[in-house]
Amino acid sequence: MVTEKVLITGAAGFLGSHLCHRFIREGFSVIGMDNLITGDLKNLSSLSDNSNFSFIHHDVTRHIKIEGNLNYILHFASPASPIDYLKIPIQTLKVSSLGTHNCLGLAKSKKARILVASTSEVYGDPLVHPQVENYWGNVNPIGPRGVYDEAKRFMEALTMAYHTYHGLQTRIVRIFNTYGPRMRLNDGRVLPAFIGQALRGEDLTIFGDGSQTRSFCFVDDLVEGIFRLLFCDYSLPVNIGNPNEITIKEFGEEIIKLTGTKQKLVFRPLPVDDPKQRQPDISLAKKILGWEPKISREMGLKITYDYFKSLSSEELNKAEHKSFDSYVMR
């Protein structure tokens, strides 16, 4: 029996590493690729001795060469946190444009199926709630988030062009807020920011009045949805996320209760173009994938909190509070 081979870009990142582990467990031969600009090889350390896993240190914005057969590509290379994509805006634009073009070209040459990682940010600050796949979004192309939002919108357009013009087998997942082990404490997203602040004895910073909403999906649920999407027969975008909506203020209060700390919530001005609402409509995923999240926020937060508590004090203190002062929190 020939083992099927999958290339996962962004393999050393939060989501990419979880996907590598899942595909190894499923019996695939996995090639992980990452330029390590935001990823960390320690996320893949448990796979280093696995004969079915190999790693290539490479920037996907340059030509990608893979020897031999290739059955699937999962393109997850991209900065995904506000701190990252506001610090390296050009690289963020290039990885979802040039990088996607290279991955699509590789898929075409190998006759491989490709799944690209889009985002709920394509909806911008939505005027439709909850967000459904046929909503076109409300995005500011020249705002501070435009480097990420528009890059992902271009990624979707380029992927569909390859699908319709070349007949390439493509899949597009629109990922909503996701959390779990291997997130970076200082990546600017709201959950690690809150937990990091609580563990350091700092007050929890909320931008705006805390009435903006988010919907948090545990990473194992997300990976299951992505896995099912890759192997289904559907080429248009699909939302994958948890529709259980909560305000940021309520979420901060949950974190304080979880950590058993006595910090208070402090409020700062809302950054430019920060979405007021974020909630996926997952009717399509339920219909075509038979998928919906299974892990409760209570359970997922406990697993994630235990992971962050296991970090060394040195790692914890690297994520300084000032890192979050001027960035949008997702």
Per-10-residue mean pLDDT for the chain, 330 residues long? 91 98 98 97 96 98 97 97 90 98 98 98 93 95 93 98 98 97 88 91 92 95 98 98 96 93 88 79 98 97 94 65 41
Residues 268-282 as b or e (16 or more Cβ within 10 Å = b): eebbebbbebbbbbb
Tokens of 172: 């597009």
Residues identified as active-site = 148
Tokens of 127: 């005027």
> Model-level pTM?
0.93
Which pLDDT score is estimated for 273?
Answer: 61
Residue found under tokens 């059955």: 71
SS (H, E, C) the chain: CCCCEEEEECCCCHHHHHHHHHHHHCCCEEEEEECCCCCCHHHHHHHCCCCCEEEEECCCCCCCCCCCCCCEEEECCCCCCHHHHHHCHHHHHHHHHHHHHHHHHHHHHHCCEEEEEEEHHHHECCCCCCECCCCCCECCCCCCCHHHHHHHHHHHHHHHHHHHHHCCCEEEEEECCEECCCCCCCCCCHHHHHHHHHHCCCCEEEECCCCCEEECEEHHHHHHHHHHHHCCCCCCEEEECCCCEEEHHHHHHHHHHHHCCCCCEEEECCCCCCCCCCCECCHHHHHHHCCCCCCCHHHHHHHHHHHHHCCCHHHHHHCCHHHHCCCCCC
Which pLDDT score is estimated for 13?
Answer: 97
Rounded Cα distance between 66 and 9, Å, is 12
Rounded Cα distance between 267 and 210, Å, is 8
Residues 109-118 as b or e (16 or more Cβ within 10 Å = b): ebebbbbbbb
β-pairing, 204-207 vs 265-268, is parallel
Q: Which domains does the chain have, with CATH numbers?
A: 5-176+218-240 (3.40.50.720), 179-215+243-279+295-324 (3.90.25.10)
Cα 255–chain centre separation = 21
Report yes or no: 324 and 192 within 8 Å, Cβ to Cβ. Answer: no
Tokens of 35: 């330029």
Residue found under tokens 């809302």: 270
Phi and psi at residue 98, to the nearest 5°: -60, -40
